[in-house]
Amino acid sequence: MNQILLINLVVGFEALSVSTKGRIEAGVNERIYASAGGDLSAFRYKDHLGDLKFANYSASAEAGIGENGASAKYKLGVDVVNAKVGGVKGNLGLMLVPKLLLAREA
């Protein structure tokens, strides 16, 4: 994951935080998967316990091709608040998740 910090006001607190991520996988069954995404937060607090974001805008896309066909989807989200503590995530906001599936007939 890449992160660009525009303003660091106090230790752990950030204003205008931008982060990106991407991944590509190829499997033994001729399966290929790729994903990419990024987000922008107006305010963010991060420490060893978790991550808290306010006014968070996010976008991501993924696509895969396998023996049963292909799929693609993207997500667009706007959160008032987005929190992660340990392995638990929560958010209050809106998300759009269209998905396209293309499968071959058996």
pLDDT digits (tens, 9 = 90+) for 29-63: 778 999 999 999 999 988 888 899 999 999 999 99
Cβ neighbors of 96 (< 8 A, separation 6 or more) are 75, 76, 77
Q: Would you state the structure tokens that stand for residue 86, as one six-digit string?
A: 């340990």
What pTM was computed for the model?
A: 0.69
Cβ neighbors of 84 (< 8 A, separation 6 or more) are 50, 51, 52, 90
Residue 11 pLDDT > 80: no
Percent pLDDT > 70 in the chain is 86
Residue 14 pLDDT > 90: no
State how far the Cα of 51 lies from the Cα of 54, in Å rounded to an integer. Answer: 10
